[in-house]
Amino acid sequence: MKGVLLVNLGSPDSPEPKDVKPYLDEFLMDKYVIDVPFLLRAFLVRGIILRKRPEESAHAYKKIWTDEGSPLIVLSERMHKKVKPLVDVPVALAMRYGSMTIEKGLQELHEQGVTDVMLLPLYPQYAMASTLTIEVLAEKIRKKSFPNMKLTNFPAFYNKPGFIRVLSESIKKHLEGFNYDQLVFSYHGIPERHIRKTDVTKSHCKIDGSCCATASEAHAFCYRHQCYETTRLVAEYLQLPKESYTLTFQSRLAGDKWLEPYTDVEIDNMPAKGIKKIAVVTPAFVTDCLETLEEIAMRANEDFKENGGEEFLAIPCLNDDDEWCEVVADWIKDWVKN
């Protein structure tokens, strides 16, 4: 029997440093996230980053935490609950990090008699630090605990018509009546190095992004190309004039050079250029989380206004939007038919 495992990133069990620290340790010790040899990774993560970060992140998580828990988990669960009755096969939900493990998700499907699983990472654009790490871990668990199970990876959906339509319609709805100067498409960043590592041709991807409009098989695994494509397709759908929107990358960690331009730098500089009213959409996330609710809707908003900005609109993620759930259900139905 066929079944589906939806996988999102995960959150700590609580917004307290005692829970944030082990969560960040699991996340940042992942070799697909901090992609350096083990000893150097352990030194960087445990010797440097985890000395102060758990306190800082816990403080940020406390600002967005709800009575039901972490927004990322609660909203993913709501979406899961809505998708389930729309399809005829079992659907489970898991997280790459934290206590809702992929192992538990596969076990749940196994107990329902599922032998053929489609893995659906809830990330529109492919990245080593998001999609690949889920695929690798799920395969490792399958081999060890469910050797007779078949696993199929659902490809990144950055350009799928259903995704572009519901994302565009959601942006349109939220922008109604808001006379903005600039619409910012802010994507989660990654270190530039990751772009080179996932280039299957080993020669296509250039560090300045000049490669991204030239067709290449590298683009099936190029995060930056896929971010550009999502933006281009949404802009086309909404018929946005070229000068009315911009693409940026957020959430960088100190140290490496990450994809540019940086969201915080761009937004802080906008008021001085006469851009006083902005809307920000975050299409690398389908679920609201720390990076959208705290970093964008709170921090970027405050910084923009401190720099002379007047109006700031943070557009929510698709979350458990009915039409989005129907799109996901349609993808599942198509896979079940084939």
Ligand X SMILES: C=CC1=C(C)c2cc3[nH]c(cc4nc(cc5[nH]c(cc1n2)c(C)c5CCC(=O)O)C(CCC(=O)O)=C4C)c(C)c3C=C
Residues that bind ligand X (CB under 6 A): 9, 11, 24, 33, 53, 57, 70, 72, 123, 127, 129-130, 188, 190-191, 251, 253, 284-285, 289-291
Residues in 187-206 that interact with Fe ion by CB under 5 A:
205
Which helix H or strand E contains 246, and what residues bound it? strand 245-250
The total number of residues shown for the chain amounts to 338
The residue whose two tokens read 């050797």 is 147
Q: Which does 212 bind (CB under 5 to 8 A by kind): ligand X, Fe ion, none?
A: Fe ion
Return the percent helix, strand and coil in the chain, to nearest 5.
Answer: 50, 15, 35
**Binding-site member from 211, 275, 279, 280 for Fe ion (CB under 5 A):** 211
Which residue's Cβ has the minimum distance to ligand X?
Answer: 289
Coil, helix or strand at residue 41: helix
Contact in structure between 182 and 243 (CB atoms under 8 Å): no
Name which of Fe ion, ligand X, none residue 225 binds, using a CB cut-off of 5 to 8 Å depending on partner kind. Fe ion
Which of Fe ion, ligand X, none sits in contact with 191, Cβ below 5 to 8 A by type? Answer: ligand X
Of 212, 267, 300, 315, the one binding Fe ion (CB under 5 A) is 212
Q: Which is nearer to Fe ion, 92 or 205 (CB)?
A: 205
Tell whether 188 is in a known binding site. yes
* The amino acid at 64: I
Are 7 and 119 contacting, i.e. CB atoms less than 8 angstroms apart? yes
Q: Could you tell me which stretch among 46-54, 162-170, 218-226, 234-242 binds Fe ion (CB under 5 A)? A: 218-226
The answer to whether 26 is annotated as binding is: no
Task: Tell me how far apart the alpha carbons of residues 167 and 169 are, in angstroms, rounded to a whole number.
Answer: 6
Whole-number Cα distances in Å, 167 to 150, 237, 255: 31, 10, 33
Query: Closer CB to Fe ion, residue 59 or residue 273?
Result: 59
CA-based nearest residue to 266, from 284, 255, 254, 252 = 252
Q: Which is nearer to Fe ion, 79 or 205 (CB)?
A: 205
- Closer to ligand X at the Cβ: 215 or 254? 254
Our finding on whether 96 is near Fe ion (CB under 5 A) is: no
Beta carbon nearer to ligand X, 240 or 253: 253
Strand order in the sheet with 150-153: 91-95, 2-8, 116-121, 150-153
**Residue set of the binding site for Fe(2+):** 188, 291
Q: Which positions touch Fe ion (CB under 5 A)?
A: 205, 211-212, 222, 225
**Residue set of the binding site:** 188, 291
